[in-house]
Structures are given as structure tokens and as C-alpha cells.
Structure 1
Amino acid sequence: MYKRKLFFFGATTALILFIVLISTAASAHLIRENLQQSSIAQRLLLEHQQISSISYRLFKQLTDEVIFGDTANQAHVRNKQALIKQSMENIRQLEIEQRLALGKQFTQGSVEDTDELESLINNIIDEFQEVLKLNGSAPLSKQDRLRSLLEVTIDNEFRESINTAVARQSSVVAAINARIAAVNSSIVWFAFGLGCIALPLLTYGCYWLFNQLYHPLVVLKNATNAVAAGDYEQPISENLDQEFQELSSAINQLAKRLRQHEFEAEKSRKMLKYEVEQRTSELTRANQQLTTIDVRRKQFLADISHELRTPLTIIRGEAQVTLRLKSPDIDDYKETLTSILEQSVNLTRLVDDLLLLARAEMNQLQLAIIPEPIIPMLEAETSKWQKLYTDRDIRLIDQTGHASISISIDKLRIQQVLSILIDNAVKYSAAGQPVLLTVNQENSWCTIAIHDKGCGISATEIENVFERFVRFSKHNDGLGLGLPIAKAIVEAHDGYIHVDSTQGSGSTFSIRLPVFEGEQQ
């Protein structure tokens, strides 16, 4: 149905356009013909003006010959006669074309006057020749004929003939211009009339076609917008023209399929996202474990290579020095063996510490964990270190409120941690400064803190204080394994160790260990 509406509107528009094109072609043809004739008339005017100019120059030269008897300019006379002849032929050809195009009535006398003009020019030239023949006899008669030729024939007849031809062509030009103006006026009025008729028709046709097309397009637009917004539950229920009805059915089917595909895609996305997250988490954990193991392996090899070099070098050096002695006595051997033994002990201690760290990092540190009362153990450690450093005030401050608190620990390993921390507190604080141990319980955690009044740890050093082979800038003794070992032992007990330090005010190392569950109950 909508096809017939479009066909009717298209046929009406095509008919109007066809009329406009035919009118435009006809007017263009008429204007072109008129312009062509106007061009011919203009050329004729120019030719008449040219022949007038050449003829007057020719007549002047002939007059000079008659008066002065000069025959030296005959070549110029012949040249001008040839030009006059050529111009006359051009005029005659243009006038014939003009007569054929405009008709004999419109160009009355043009061809005939040209013949008369040519005859008049030839007669004037012949008359000059006759006057020249009178040279030397009857001077008065010669003067009279020359005067008559100049005043009557040339000045009157020739000039009148030229003016008549020019006036005739000017009228032709004016008539052609009038025809062009009339054609233009007709075209303007025809275009105006055609516009007055066609414009309302086209406006009404466009308005009618727009109304016929607008409603189906609105329905289709709303449906497609709903589908684009994800609303697949809005089918097109209106009955449209046959062409749009097929499109509306296709949109309804598309919405239904998109709804199904989107449901399946969302389900697949969730499943894929879950699987990717699972696999990513597994791979991340595996990668982290591999990275950690590899870093620890490299660090362990670097550390052990670095620390084993010194005692082995000393052992080798002592042995080489003793062997180079010419007559070593028993004292030399004893001194050498004593040095070797000392370095072997240090080397054994270093190997034990490195093995402890390696096992702790691989979660293979063997611990004999049993419930242990914390206060008696701390009192024993305090008493032991007080005996070693009688000039220092090393004491325990119990902040728990009762002495029966127990923690699940490997006693020997925790004693090793306490020894490392107390030894550092004594080592890095000035003589006479106290070292205080405090114990406190908070919920299911027991906190043991070792306070000293030493120089403290700088902000740059505190970040690496628990790294292996790290020594404080002011103290280069030791291997730098004490604090890493303490950290490894505490973390193997599922505890935490950290340090608080202010440079110039001392440091506090705190150990947090889980309280024995039976004690909590």
C-alpha cells in the first residue's frame, strides 16, 4: 500500500520536474539563438565600420595621387582594395546567415544594399582613375570632376550608404535584444506561474507523505530504542502498512532472540568470571610461592657464601702459616689449632643459624610446643642476664596481675629469642642504663617487651632491622642473624614481633604470643 503512495507522489513530482526541464531547455535554446544573431549583428556593425575606415583611407590616397601626381603608393592602394574586397565578402556572408535565421522581412534590404555599396565603391575608384587620366589637360574640368567626386559621391552617397547599413544593423541588434528581453520576461512569468502551481502541490504532497510515513517510523523508533536500552518485553502490536508490518515482525523476533542470548551470555559471563577468578587466585598463589622460594634460595646461597668465606679463609690462612714455619714448636701448633677451633665453632654456629632460618622459611622448623608458665621463665632469664652484667639494672615488670598465665611455646627457642633481644638491649645501650622486661596479657595474646635506653634506631635502619646480615651503622660486631632468627622463631609460634624506636631515646622490641587455651578457659 505504501508503495502506491510513494509511486503517486513520485509521478507527480517527476511530471513537474519534466515540465520545468522542458521549459528550461526551450528557453535556453531561444536565448542561445538570439544571442547568436546578436553576435552576427555586432560583427556586421564592426565590418561596416571597418570598411568605412578602409574606404576613406583609400579615397584619401587616391585624392593625393590626383592632386600631387604621386604614383608611389599604388601598392598601398591595391592592398586597401583587397581589404575592402575581403570585408565585403565577410559582410555578404554574415548577411546571408542573418537572413536565413531571421527571414527576409526582418532583414529587408541588407543584401541588396551591400551590393549597391560594393558597386558604389567600385564606381568611386573608377572615377578616380578617370580623373587621373585627365592629368596635364583641362585642369578646370579635372578640378570640377574631383570636387564632384569628393563632395557629392563620397561625402553624400558613400557616407549615406554606410550610415544606412549601420543604422539597419543597429535596429537589428535592438530588435534582437528586445526579443531576448521578451523571452526572459516570458521565462520569469512562466517560472513564477509554474512555481505558484507546483509549490502548493509539492508542499501538500510532502505533508501528506510525511504524515503517512511519520507514524510507522515513530512506532519503529520507539521499539528499536527499547531494544537498544535492553527492554526486550515491548513488542510492536500495531497494524502498519504491509512493508512496515514485515519489519515490525522482524524487530519482535529480534527482541525475543536478544533476550534469550543476553540471558545465556550473562550466565556464561558469571561462570567464566568465577572460573577465571579461581584460576587466577590459584596461579597467583602458586607464583607467589615459587617467587618466595626462589628468592629465599638465592638469598640463602648469597648469605652462606658471604659468611662462610671469612672463617674458611682464616682457617686456611692459619694452616698455611703454620705449614710454612721451618721449625714450629708445640705452642705454635696449639695457637693454630686454637684459632682453627674458634673459627670452626663460629662456622658451626653460623651454619646452625642459617639452617634454622632456612627451615623456618620453608615451614620445616621443628618445635616442641608445650604449655609453659611465662612469669617463672622470664624471671629465670632476667636473673641469668643480671648475673652476667652485674653493673646493669635488668629486671622484670609483671603487668598481667597474676602469675599463673601460660603460653604454648618451645621453651628453648623462646629462651633463645629472649637472649638475642636482651643481649642487643645491653649491647646497644650505654653502661649503667637499665634494661626492662614487661609482660602483659590482652585477650588471647601475651606481650613480652624488652625496653632499653640506648641511642635508638634510625628510620632508615628500622625498616631492615629483621633482614639477615644487617648490622647497625655504629656496631659492626656480630653476623646480623640474631634478629632474623628471633623473628623466624616467633612467627613459627604463630606470633608477631615488632620494634618501636626513637633515635636518642632507646628502643622497645615486643613479642606477641598466643596464650595457652587451657589457661583461657
Structure 2
Amino acid sequence: MYKRKLFLFGFISAAVLVVALTGVAVSAYITKENLRQSATAQSLLSEHQMLSSISYRLFKQLTDELIFGRNANQALVRNKQALIEQSLRVIRELELRQRNELGPDVTPGSVEDTDELQMLISEIITEFNAVIAMNDSTPLRQQERVQRLLEFTIDNKFREAINAAVSRQSKVVSATNARIEALNSAIVWFSIILCVLVGPFIVFGCFWLFNQLYQPLTLIGSGTQIIASGNYNFRLPENLDQEFHSLVQSLNQLAGKMAEHEQQEETMRQQLQIEVDQRTSELTEANRQLTLIDARRKQFIADISHELRTPLTVIRGEAQVTLRQNNPGVEDYRTALETVLDQVVSLSVLVDDLLLLARAEINQLRLLMDDVYLVDMLENQVEQWQRKMPLRAFRLDVDGLAEATGEGLSEAPLTVRADEQRLRQVMTILIDNATRYSEPDSAIDIVLSATAEQVFVRVVDYGTGISPTDLQYIFERFVRFKPRTDGAGLGLSIARALIDAHQGEIYAESEQGQGSVFTIVLPRQADE
């Protein structure tokens, strides 16, 4: 029953809405057409006024030619004639459009008068040209032809023609505006009548629908709030109107299913908690095993340094060869001992390097922190390497440091908080690496610069450079890009470990054929 009433109310409301929308659409279309016609009429009136103004200025310029000579205003005359022709073309287009829109009854004689107006303007211009061509020396006020042209043709005939066109078009504009005003009044009265007739119906219908819906919707709304609050045992009464019967049944079924789901959820939650606890225990044990394995791996790296057999094999071979000789001399013993000593030194260095890396991995690398004067340390490094390789140029550049501080180095020596011995070790590794991978006669530059927070030390060589593929592995262990180069390939790994221990950064930049740049970045923790 309620559904039928609702459909009836909706049908009547839709019909009223269709009528109203149809009226609005028709009114909008008619208003649009009237506005377009009004715009055309206004434009045509403006063009007539413009034509009048341009024509009178042209006549004045032609009169000036009569007074001052034939060539006095030729450019201006041609310009005005072009403007008049353009204005006439626009007037014809607008008049044709206006006649098509309003009909010949509303616009009588408009198109024909324009043709006559054009002929009159042409006649006036032709008469001016004829008078100018006569080149009569008689004063203008005594020339009858000129007086007739100015007083009769222009002042009377042309003025009446142009004023008639403007007056006719003004009437068209007034008629169009009056029609728009009448239409607007009709629209306003239509809207008022529609509101008076439809308003009470809508108010009454809404009030009736509200009363019909309020009670069941209130009951259903309160019941759904109770169910939403978690009371899934609540049930809505099923004695409401037929339209709400299926909705009430669905809500009651939903409440029953949610009660079942809540019970199942609690069971699954308990089961999931048991499984989570079990998996957590397994993950804890797995993590402990991984930690143990990682500790063993690090220990293995530390122990493997003591198991390097190559130097020991050489030592053992030298000892065995010497002992097998029947009567070894002092020179034989010296040679064997020197070989043993070289291998022992190499083995000791390798073991120290491996132990350093192992300690760095397990954060057991000890640093003796102190204030380090970087300029003095770097100058000492340059002097040592210059004595060691006199044929190669080692250069220290501190110009960037002086620019950054704004003071002389003697006035503000640059210091950092670091382990000086380890920094020397890093510089030795980088400079040695630069000499290995560059020509013997090429220079090595050490560049020192600083900012307010950081210090930058760059070691620049001009060697063969490093390929982009190899550059990403440059700080890995046992990496050597020239197989014949001495060393185990641990130098750059050690340098990175030492710089990391100083909370710094080291990185490499290189282009093949142009050399490489290794940059050390240290935090500036000490006062200058």
C-alpha cells in the first residue's frame, strides 16, 4: 500500500517537474534568440553610427583637398574610403541576418536603403573628385557646384539618409528590447503561478511521506544502532508494513550471522594466537641460530688469517732446501733467512689486515682519538712519498681550504678528531694505489678542503682510470683490476673500514683514460 502511494506521489512530482523544466527550456531558448536578435540590432545601429562618423570625416578631408590641393590628404582619404567599404559590408551582412531573424515587416527598407546610401556616398566622392580635377581658381564660396555639393548633397540629402537609417535601426532595437521585457515578465509570472500551484502540493506530499516513513525508519534505525554496537542477539519486530518486512528479516538474519561470525572469530583468534606464539618461538630460535652462525662466520674470517698457507709453504720450502744441503754456507743461510723474513713480513701484514677487517665487522676496532692537524699530516705524507719516488710529482693543494675558511692556514689550522696513525694508514693506501695505477712520471695531487661541518681530502691520479662496471666493486675485498699488481686486494677495504670507524665516508670517481679521484669525508668535530 505504501509503495503505491509513493509511486503516485513520484509520478505527479515528475510530471510537474517535466512541465516546469519544459517551460524553463522554452523560455531559455526564446530568451537566447531574443538576445541574439538584440545583439544584431545593437551592432547594426553601432555600424550605422560609425559609418556616419567615418563619412563626415572623409568629406572633411576631401574638402581640405579642395582648399589645400589635390594631394593634401590622399593617404587619409584612401584609408577612410576603405573603412567606409568595410562598414557597408558589415551593415549589409547584419541587415540580411536581421531580416531573416525578424522578417521584412519589422525591417522594411533596411537593405534597399543601404544600397541607396552606398550610391549616395559614391556620388559624393565622385563629385568631390570632379571638382578637384577641375582645378578652378575661383574661391570656393563662389563656386556653385561646390556649394551645391556641400549644402544640398551632404548637409541635406546625405544627412537625411544616414539619420533615417539610424532612426529606423533605433526603432528595431527598441522593439527587440520591448519584446525581451515582455518575455521576461511572462517568465516571472509563469514562475509565480507555478510556485503557487505546486508549492502546497509539494509541502503536503512531503509531510505525508515523512509521517508514513518516520515510525518504521526510526524503529529500524534504533535497531541497527543496537546491532552495530555489538548486541547481535537483538531482533527487530517483523510486524511492520509489507514494504519493510523483507528489510527487517534481512537485518535479523544479518544479526544472527554476525553473532555466529563473532563466535567463530573468537575461536580463530585464540587459534591464531597459539600459532603466532609458536611461530614467534620458532623465529626467535631461528634468529638465535643465525646470530650464532654469523658470529661463527666472523670468527672464521678472523681465524682464517692464521691459516694462510702460501707464505708458510714458502718458509717451509726454504727451510727444507737449506737443511738438505750437505755443507750450506753462510750465504745460503742468509738467503734462506731473507726469504723467510720477507714471507713472514708479508704474512704478518696480511694477517694484520684480515684481523683489522674482522674487528671492524664486529665493532671491536679501537681508535686512539686525538686532535689531528691535517695540513701537517698531509705535508708529511707528501714529503715521504716524494723521497720514496723522486721522479714523480706529489702536490698538496690547500687553496680550497683557505677560500672556505676565509683566513690563512697559519691563523686557523684545520684539526679533526681522529686516530692519526689510522688516517696515515688510509692516506698511504690511497697514495700507493694511485701510484700503482698511473704512469711513473705522472703527478699525484692531494687536495684538502672544508665546510662548516665536514672536511674533504681528495687523492687525484691521472692514470688509466676505472671502468664503471669495476667501480662499484672497488672497495670489496681481494679485488685487483691488474693481475700483476702486488698486494692481496685488501687496501681499499681496509681504508673504507677505517673511515667508517671515524663516522666518515669514502668514495671513488673515475673516467677511463682520465684518472681517478678518491675522496675522504670526515666530520669536523674539533674547534679550529
TM-score, normalising length: structure 1: 0.47
TM-score, normalising length: structure 2: 0.47
Structure with the greater alpha carbon radius of gyration: 1
